[in-house]
Chain A
Amino acid sequence: MTTKHAIAILVNDQPGVLQRVSGLFGRRGFNIESITVGQSEEQGLSRMVIVTEGDDQTLEQIEKQLYKLIDVIKVVNLSSKPMVSRELALIKVKAEPAERPEIKSLADTFRAAVVDIGTRNMMIQVVGDTEKVDALLELLKPYGIQELSRTGVTAMTRGNAL
């Protein structure tokens, strides 16, 4: 059964490491739905979070192949544990002055923020899990989405789970 998985990868913060990881996915026919990279809690190490789709066997191969990369220090399949996952999206939506209060209240419902207002549009910033961002987008679509930028998922296990 193919399902979505979020995988966290602790890597050496070396030039080319993103290329090694993403190249491995491409070459071996694994899919990348989103990929984020940034600092980790330890200097010299970065944490990548990759959202991918596949069955158990594919996931096992992904983990094993990742461990073959010398710069990969730890791989954790977050989806197999209780976790928190978040992404951020900036949404520029068409907004004539008359529509603004309506859009604002939509955003409020999702605890999203209006971060810019132009003469004919508004920019909304939303943070949440993928489903929440999808849901807000769905509601904003009828107004006309002019520009959309999503960060991809970053995630962490809850509490003491590792």
Chain B
Amino acid sequence: MKPEVITGSEILLRSLLLEGVECVFGYPGGAVLYIYDALYGFSDFRHLLTRHEQGAIHAADGYARASGKVGVCIATSGPGATNLVTGIATAYMDSVPLVVITGNVIQSLIGTDAFQEADITGITMPITKHSYLVRDAKELPRIIHEAFHIANSGRKGPVLIDIPKDVSAATTLFEPAKTMNLRGYNPTVAPNRLQLDKVAAAIQEASRPVILAGGGVVYSGGHEELLQFAETTEIPVTTTLLGLGGFPSGNRLWMGMPGMHGTYTANNAIQQSDLLICIGARFDDRVTGKLDGFAPKAKIVHIDIDPAEIGKNIHTDIPVVGDVKTVLEQLNKLVKRADQADSWRDQIQQWKAEKPFKYKDSNDSLKPQWVIEMLNETTHGEAIVTTDVGQHQMWAAQYYKFNQPRSLITSGGLGTMGFGFPSAIGAQMAHPDRLVISINGDGGMQMCSQELAICAINKIPVKIVVINNQVLGMVRQWQELIYDNRYSHIDLSGSPDFVKLAEAYGVKGLRATNKEDAQEVWREALETPGPVLVEFVVDKQENVYPMVPQGSTIDQMLMGDCE
């Protein structure tokens, strides 16, 4: 490529191309008009115009989680940028690689409370891995190159690039970046061999070992190594919400998800374990329950790319810093079968048989768990599923059987309502030929439903499921169990007719209120090309069980219908 004098905006687009960007999600405005001008007629990658910046960033997030590549979104200054905040925090909490591009007012106006000015680098400092305010168009190639590298290496996360309007307008010589200036950034990838020997020795000594695997397994691409590790050692495995799909759910060693709505087996196994091997998970309080009382008898091994996670919540006996895939590759050469754990394995199979997830089915009304089971059966567990946040999210985690990494896309750390539907659009952009199902509550669906428009216009064939229980279900559940049935402000009367709402945007809408119709409309949805919204009207009283009340240890489960 011979050097050329072009605008900052054109440099941005070319630099994005050099990073392999296939599509970006965005929304224009005054401060990014030069960038959008450069995008006019540009077709080297796709730009999808969402209907809200929040839709754009969740879509970029879904794209990143489904593809393992960096998700990119663009917004204007001020209100455009601040509309991204929830999505940036969502990606930060779940370690999702994003490059977020915002416009800003011209540099001479920065700091003057100019029209549509917001200090977005300041606002997002606690929720970004790193950020840049670009001062000179010459710096753009290096900054963009660094941003992609930072976002998608080490512990992944969102990086923000704020570009003042005069920088996107300025012209300069474009020279693609060859160097980076990141002296302070050297993630540890390869583990310390001595630590690995300790892990191998601990496995030989253990009689009740457990593997707790999280999102790090999926993000590092280490799922096959995890399978081999578990098969070699024959240690039972539990996967966190973000780890679902990182280990095949059909495997005999799998115990299900741990924590607040985890399985009886996983929670008891953790509590009684004498060796807990935590791999790419960060001991979130939804997993641990009451911290002092968590895995009280266990020696703790913690494998993580982020040294700051080790010892943050839980005292660690054998810390291993490194990339999960690399660590497991090396560990697999050292470990043997955990020979002392035979009666433990039997115990676990017995718990699994005695206490699976259970609900009381009905022939009069639709049970949400039944709906998820139907989705699982009809798709053979092979769809990419995105969820919103609430009861339906937990039922999806419990009753859909994830067998492949990156097949569940859900907001774990922040628990962001409004995430489910737009993230499915991004996931579908990453995998145009796969079946993408987005499972939402009637509450969360209303937080980003405007993105039905981009599904219709771009013929993005997401199957949108709305589990309609007419309430903010998860809040209702807490009010019932913890707040003495005082149902404060959870009634969603006044929700739109979801079928008509979909149709108003040009998306096919279907509804079912009983089992027969449910099977019928779901079949129709699968057979219909393009996007379809299917509303399942379900029993409003249903609760998610088991449940560990906040402040209890995880073996103190309310078993409800699982009894």
Please report A residues at the B interface, Cβ cutoff 8 Å: 11-12, 15-16, 19-20, 23, 27, 57, 60-61, 64-65, 67-74
A68-B133 in contact (CB<8A): no
B121-A61 in contact (CB<8A): no
A15-B133 in contact (CB<8A): yes
List of A residues within 8 angstroms of B122 by Cβ: 16, 19
A23-B125, A67-B307, A70-B130 known; A61 vs B312 contact (CB < 8 Å): yes
Query: Is the C-beta of B1 less than 8 angstroms from some C-beta in chain A?
Result: no
B184-A27 in contact (CB<8A): no
A16-B121, A19-B125, A23-B126 known; A73 vs B184 contact (CB < 8 Å): yes
A70-B184, A73-B183 known; A27 vs B308 contact (CB < 8 Å): no
A72-B125 in contact (CB<8A): no
Which residue of chain B lies nearest to A75 when distances are taken between CB atoms in the complex? B184
Which residue of chain B lies nearest to A23 when distances are taken between CB atoms in the complex? B125
Contacting residue for B184 out of A12, A15, A64, CB 8 A? A12
B311-A61 in contact (CB<8A): yes
Query: Is the C-beta of B129 less than 8 angstroms from some C-beta in chain A?
Result: yes
Query: Is the C-beta of B353 less than 8 angstroms from some C-beta in chain A?
Result: no
CB distance from B413 to the nearest CB of A (A): 15
A64-B307 in contact (CB<8A): yes
List of A residues within 8 angstroms of B310 by Cβ: 64
CB distance from A76 to the nearest CB of B (A): 14
Please report B residues at the A interface, Cβ cutoff 8 Å: 121-122, 125-126, 129-130, 133, 150, 155, 182-185, 306-308, 310-312
B125-A64 in contact (CB<8A): no
List of A residues within 8 angstroms of B307 by Cβ: 64, 67
Contacting residue for A27 out of B126, B150, B182, CB 8 A? B126
- Give me the 7 closest cross-chain CB pairs, A-B, nearest first: A64-B308, A73-B184, A70-B130, A70-B185, A64-B307, A72-B184, A27-B126
A61-B308, A61-B312 known; A69 vs B126 contact (CB < 8 Å): no
CB distance from B461 to the nearest CB of A (A): 39
Taking A68-B308, A70-B150, A73-B184 as known contacts, 13 extra A-B pairs with beta carbons closer than 8 A to each other, sorted by chain A number, are A15-B133, A16-B125, A19-B122, A19-B125, A23-B125, A23-B126, A60-B311, A64-B310, A67-B184, A67-B308, A68-B155, A70-B130, A74-B184
* 29 A-B contact pairs sorted by A residue (CB < 8 Å): A15-B133, A16-B121, A16-B125, A16-B133, A19-B125, A20-B125, A23-B125, A23-B126, A27-B126, A57-B311, A60-B311, A61-B308, A61-B311, A61-B312, A64-B307, A65-B308, A67-B307, A68-B129, A68-B155, A68-B306, A69-B130, A69-B184, A70-B129, A70-B150, A70-B185, A71-B184, A72-B184, A73-B183, A73-B184
List of B residues within 8 angstroms of A67 by Cβ: 184, 307-308
List of B residues within 8 angstroms of A12 by Cβ: 183-184
Contacting residue for A70 out of B121, B182, B312, CB 8 A? B182
How distant is the Cα of A34 from the Cα of B310 in the complex, in angstroms? 27
How distant is the Cα of A70 from the Cα of B121 in the complex, in angstroms? 14
How distant is the Cα of A69 from the Cα of B130 in the complex, in angstroms? 7
CB distance from A19 to the nearest CB of B (A): 7
List of B residues within 8 angstroms of A61 by Cβ: 308, 311-312
CB distance from A40 to the nearest CB of B (A): 13
List of B residues within 8 angstroms of A23 by Cβ: 125-126
List of A residues within 8 angstroms of B182 by Cβ: 70
How distant is the Cα of A19 from the Cα of B122 in the complex, in angstroms? 8
List of B residues within 8 angstroms of A57 by Cβ: 311
List of A residues within 8 angstroms of B129 by Cβ: 68, 70
List of B residues within 8 angstroms of A60 by Cβ: 311
List of B residues within 8 angstroms of A64 by Cβ: 307-308, 310
How distant is the Cα of A81 from the Cα of B306 in the complex, in angstroms? 26
How distant is the Cα of A64 from the Cα of B133 in the complex, in angstroms? 25
How distant is the Cα of A73 from the Cα of B181 in the complex, in angstroms? 12
Which residue of chain B lies nearest to A68 when distances are taken between CB atoms in the complex? B308
How distant is the Cα of A19 from the Cα of B123 in the complex, in angstroms? 11
List of A residues within 8 angstroms of B125 by Cβ: 16, 19-20, 23
Interface centre among B155, B183, B311 (most CB of A within 10 A): B183
Which residue of chain B lies nearest to A66 when distances are taken between CB atoms in the complex? B308
How distant is the Cα of A136 from the Cα of B146 in the complex, in angstroms? 50
Which residue of chain A lies nearest to B185 when distances are taken between CB atoms in the complex? A70
List of A residues within 8 angstroms of B312 by Cβ: 61
List of A residues within 8 angstroms of B126 by Cβ: 23, 27
How distant is the Cα of A72 from the Cα of B129 in the complex, in angstroms? 13
How distant is the Cα of A15 from the Cα of B122 in the complex, in angstroms? 11
List of B residues within 8 angstroms of A74 by Cβ: 184
CB distance from B422 to the nearest CB of A (A): 28
How distant is the Cα of A60 from the Cα of B184 in the complex, in angstroms? 18
